């Protein structure tokens, strides 16, 4: 019976995997035409010069990170990766950006879901893929700002990449919790340490959420897995230490002098208010469809666990507060919800928490229904899922805004290629050592997924100065 069940499930999973891969192809193809912008030049200045002049690359990374740490921001692991923007190896190397971001997001989502489903919920690899592949599709295709999620290194690596690292850190906690032998626990502990440092020194929304979740793991270890407690405490301590190194940076105080800081209680209140707005603001018709289509995968998992699903409303309230906590650093430091690239990772957690709540509520429902009623409920849900799928496919509602569709449009209408050609035409001027005062022609073609920003007519603008310093020019300005 188990072999037959696996056979029935593998074909839908293969179909889902093929669909996900095909939907990502236009995104990867569009990445070929992506080019560096704005902060890529600021953070990549010294590393580019090191490669150009043949000096030490690690020393250039250290000088950049330490300089910003003292004068602008403390997120040291985030800054380290920002200095390694692909453009330092050549403008056309920038295609690697969506590859890295999609890889981090995909590996983190697939690995964490696989561990939870197989080691805690009694499922198999096809159950795990049946849940994670649709979730991953939503994260990629419905993200609020795909430009800063996949096509701009500086914005994407600081948020999307480290969100994937956070998922891998949580996976290590889960493996530690499920480990049956001391050897397994030791392996989970040591493999978690690099992720703890990376995440602790990343953006503050991700680091804060990771700290809160590590606290819940420690409580669980203390109550249910005493053998894992001290190793979990070691991971959490390293995560907290990295976070403190980041938070206590002198540069954070310098930067806050340019921002309107909000009182902590007011920031907490605004974070919760923003989270309520996000519940509807992030919604896309495909999210509702996916939640219904996940029922055939999630419903059997509620039967395979001995967990009793008490207090589902409390579980939802707790997950909502964790969701809202990601907004707190931005409101505290900047008195607003933060830039689009930050909203992207809040959206990812939204997509991940919805199926978790669906599982909990379905488990609670299963426990209060009789066996016959549970079977009728499942059959009714399957029929509803099929009807909803047909309705959405017929209406085509929301498809035009999917990341893959928008990428395909930019490829088909030639705007992506024209944009890259205009950007590449500048390189002959910027790389000409005989010219120190440069006037660049404006970029006329601006595909929304690729164009992040440009220099201005004011040579003292920080964007102009970043490009000038990067290419060793005295002055860079934009032609009228």
Tell me if residue 477 falls in helix, strand or coil. Answer: strand
Averaged pLDDT for residues 295-308? 88
Tokens of 50: 């090191």
Report percent pLDDT > 90 for the chain: 76
Query: Residue 128: CB partners within 8 Å, gap ≥ 6?
Result: 110, 113, 114, 116, 117, 118
pLDDT digits (tens, 9 = 90+) for 71-95: 989 999 999 999 999 999 998 999 9
Distance CA 78, CA 73 (A): 10
Averaged pLDDT for residues 64-68? 95
> Taking all residues of the chain, what is their mean pLDDT, rounded to a whole number?
91
pLDDT digits (tens, 9 = 90+) for 157-200: 999 999 999 999 999 999 999 999 999 999 999 999 999 999 99
The pLDDT value recorded for residue 393 is 54
The pLDDT value recorded for residue 9 is 73
Asked if 187 contacts 176 with a C-beta cutoff of 8 angstroms, the reply is no
pLDDT bracket for residue 372 (50, 70, 90): low
pTM: 0.93
The pLDDT value recorded for residue 72 is 87
* 394/165: higher pLDDT: 165
Q: Which residue intervals of 38-95 are DSSP H helices? A: 39-43, 45-53, 57-71, 76-83
Domain boundaries defined on the chain = 2-405, 425-478
CA torsion 36-38-42-48 (nearest 10°) is 10
Q: Which residue intervals of 180-307 are DSSP H helices? A: 182-200, 204-224, 226-247, 250-256, 264-281, 285-293, 295-304
209 pLDDT above the threshold of 70: yes
The pLDDT value recorded for residue 261 is 75
The tally of CA atoms less than 13 A away on the side-chain side of residue 201 is 20
Cα distances (Å, whole numbers) of residue 322 to 389, 443, 477: 31, 42, 45
The tally of CA atoms less than 13 A away on the side-chain side of residue 83 is 23
Concatenate the DSSP letters of all residues of 374-401 into one string: HHHHHHHHHHHHHHHHHHHHHHTTTGGG
Asked if 267 contacts 328 with a C-beta cutoff of 8 angstroms, the reply is yes
Tokens of 88: 């330092």
The pLDDT value recorded for residue 379 is 62
Distance CA 226, CA 233 (A): 11
478 — phi, psi (to 5°)? -110, 135
pLDDT bracket for residue 1 (50, 70, 90): very low
Residue tagged 């000096």 (tokens): 55
Report percent pLDDT > 70 for the chain: 92
DSSP structural state of residue 241 = H
In 3D space, the residue among 121, 240, 65, 79 whose CA is nearest the CA of residue 169 turns out to be 240
pLDDT bracket for residue 390 (50, 70, 90): low
The pLDDT value recorded for residue 336 is 87
The pLDDT value recorded for residue 259 is 72
The pLDDT value recorded for residue 190 is 97
440 — phi, psi (to 5°)? -100, 145
Distance CA 79, CA 203 (A): 10
The pLDDT value recorded for residue 378 is 58
pLDDT digits (tens, 9 = 90+) for 109-151: 999 999 999 999 999 999 999 999 999 999 999 999 999 999 9
The pLDDT value recorded for residue 434 is 85
């Amino acid at each position: 019976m188990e072999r037959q069940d696996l056979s029935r499930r593998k074909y839908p999973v293969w179909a889902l995997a093929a669909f996900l891969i095909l939907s990502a192809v236009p995104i990867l193809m569009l990445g070929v035409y992506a080019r560096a912008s704005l902060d890529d030049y600021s953070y990549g200045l010294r590393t580019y010069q090191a490669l150009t002049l043949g000096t030490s690359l690690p020393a250039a990374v250290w000088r950049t990170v330490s300089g910003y740490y003292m004068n602008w921001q403390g997120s040291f692991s985030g800054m380290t990766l920002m200095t390694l923007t692909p453009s330092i190896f050549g403008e056309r190397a920038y295609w690697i950006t969506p590859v890295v971001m999609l890889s981090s997001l995909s590996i983190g989502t697939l690995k964490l879901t696989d561990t939870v489903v197989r080691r805690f919920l009694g499922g198999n690899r096809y159950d795990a893929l049946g849940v994670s592949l649709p979730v991953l599709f939503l994260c990629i295709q419905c993200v609020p700002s795909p430009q800063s999620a996949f096509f701009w290194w500086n914005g994407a690596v600081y948020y999307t990449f480290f969100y994937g690292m956070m998922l891998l850190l949580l996976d290590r906690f889960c493996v530690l919790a499920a480990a049956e032998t001391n050897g397994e626990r030791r392996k989970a502990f040591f493999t978690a340490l690099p992720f703890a440092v990376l995440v602790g020194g990343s953006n503050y929304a991700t680091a804060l959420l990771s700290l809160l979740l590590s606290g819940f793991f420690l409580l669980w270890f203390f109550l249910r897995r005493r053998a894992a407690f001290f190793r979990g405490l070691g991971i959490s301590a390293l995560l907290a230490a990295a976070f403190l190194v980041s938070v206590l940076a002198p540069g954070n105080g310098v930067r806050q002098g340019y921002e309107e800081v909000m009182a902590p209680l007011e920031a907490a209140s605004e974070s919760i208010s923003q989270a309520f707005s996000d519940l509807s603001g992030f919604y896309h018709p495909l999210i509702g469809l996916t939640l219904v289509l996940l029922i055939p995968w999630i419903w059997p998992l509620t039967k395979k666990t001995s967990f009793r699903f008490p207090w589902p409303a409390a579980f939802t309230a707790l997950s909502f507060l964790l969701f809202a906590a990601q907004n707190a650093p931005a409101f505290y430091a900047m008195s607003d919800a933060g830039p689009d690239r930050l909203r992207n990772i809040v959206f990812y957690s939204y997509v991940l928490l919805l199926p978790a709540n669906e599982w909990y509520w379905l488990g609670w429902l299963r426990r209060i229904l009789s066996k016959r009623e549970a079977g009728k409920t499942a059959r009714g849900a399957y029929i509803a899922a099929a009807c909803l799928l047909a309705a959405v496919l017929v209406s085509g509602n929301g498809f035009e805004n999917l990341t893959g569709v928008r990428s395909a449009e930019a490829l088909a209408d030639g705007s992506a290629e024209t944009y890259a050609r205009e950007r590449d035409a500048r390189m002959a001027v910027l790389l000409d050592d005989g010219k120190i005062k440069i006037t660049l022609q404006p970029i006329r073609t601006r595909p929304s997924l690729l164009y992040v920003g440009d220099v201005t007519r004011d040579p003292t603008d920080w964007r102009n100065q970043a490009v000038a310093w990067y290419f060793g020019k005295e002055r860079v300005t934009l032609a009228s």
